[in-house]
Amino acid sequence: MAMENWAFTRVQTLADSGIQTVPPEYVRRVEKTHHDPNRFQVPIIDLQLGFSSQQHDHFCKDQYDRIAAQISRAAENWGFFQIINHGIPDSLIARVQEASKAFFQLPTKEAYANEAQNPIGYGSKIGYSPDSEAKLEWGDYYYNAIWPPDMRDMSKWPIQLSDFTESMDEYSRELSKLFELLMEVLSRDLDLESENSLNESVGGERKGLHIRINYYPPCPQPDLVVGLAPHSDPNVLTILLHDQTPGLQIRKDGAWIDVQCIPGALVVNIADQMEILSNGKYKSIEHRGVVHKDRSRISWAVFCSPPQDMVVSPKRELIDEQHPPLYQGAPYREYLTKFFKKGLDGKGHIHNAKQQDSLVSNS
């Protein structure tokens, strides 16, 4: 996803050095956060340990419809929601977290550094190049495909980490089922031809899952930096796990608000391709990561994406004279190229892309 710039010191190294002043290349104007939980609170949806239209023995139609309606409303009105009782064991989540945290403690992690024009591996400084005006971000990351396993770049896979491969295998299988469940619900809400329509529109068995493990070290001047600049996600859906340290924020009604930390919850967000498929009904909104002075933060974002050669466009069932297509179809590879060329500085997300070029919009 982002390009590694090896000429600069890792953020983890800067933080460990004990600096008291943030280097100027990280300093930017950061919009303030709106703190009013009574006005803004990201929806929390109880999946009751996973549910499906096929599980009639466990769920009556009323229960399914009630949970599905909550998901659909959140996708339309927020673009973000949290799910609890999602059916993924706490023990598996703990294994994923421990194995991943160990990566950032590896003395040999630079062996997995990503390369120019290739985001896979250990990286930093998203969207940055020396000749640009973009500011750097206070965070390092690890990025790779996780499902299906044959998509992984094993040259950048830390096989020496105990339980890394096994826990990622199990977590990937669980998330794949969860992504398909969410797309089933949204297909029904859109009244598409079948409950598998959205899943098929993003490749079905060919769709891929990629993980980005973000490490945000403590920062001596957290109000002057961001861990991750404002952006929307270019993929279909994202499911995020975090370590219960606040830091994820979304832009709602023009204000930046915190996504509250809920033990055991996973954060789901609508991404650009889902907004396109729904012809704008579901919203892919801006979000960002902020950092802290006295503690680090780690998050695990898993992106569900179509094959890069797949053309994604609004579903035909949603188009008529009263509802013309808001987006043009484009191969996902072409969309990604446009997206990251603009950079993750708020200029690459779908809403501004609609205004700035004809790739995704007919308007």
Read off the pLDDT of residues 146-168 as tens digits, 9 standing for 90 and up.
Answer: 999 999 999 999 999 999 999 99
Confirm whether 68 is domain-assigned. Answer: no
Confirm whether 269 is domain-assigned. Answer: yes
Confirm whether 177 is domain-assigned. Answer: yes
Q: Is 259 a residue whose pLDDT tops 80?
A: yes
Q: Is 10 a residue whose pLDDT tops 70?
A: yes
pTM recorded for the entire structure? 0.90
Confirm whether 333 is domain-assigned. Answer: yes
Confirm whether 65 is domain-assigned. Answer: no
> What is the pLDDT confidence band of residue 61, given thresholds at 50, 70 and 90?
confident
| Token pair 């933060």: residue | 297
Range of the domain at 151: 90-358
Average pLDDT score over residue span 2-13:
65
The structural domain count of the chain equals: 1
What is the CATH classification number for the domain harbouring 111? 2.60.120.330
Please choose, from the candidates 335, 344, 334, 353, the residue with its C-alpha nearest in 3D space to the C-alpha of residue 287.
Answer: 344
Confirm whether 291 is domain-assigned. Answer: yes
Confirm whether 344 is domain-assigned. Answer: yes
> What is the pLDDT confidence band of residue 343, given thresholds at 50, 70 and 90?
low
Please choose, from the candidates 22, 71, 79, the residue with its C-alpha nearest in 3D space to the C-alpha of residue 269.
Answer: 79
The mean pLDDT of the chain is 88
**Residue 216 vs residues 105, 262, 286: alpha-carbon distances, Å:** 13, 19, 19
8 Å CB contact between 317 and 278: no
The DSSP-derived string for 185-213 is: HHHHHTT-SSTTHHHHHTTGGG-EEEEEE
What are the residues facing 142 on neighbouring strands?
A: 122, 213
Q: Is 98 a residue whose pLDDT tops 50?
A: yes
Position 341 scores a pLDDT of 74
8 Å CB contact between 248 and 257: no
Confirm whether 45 is domain-assigned. Answer: no
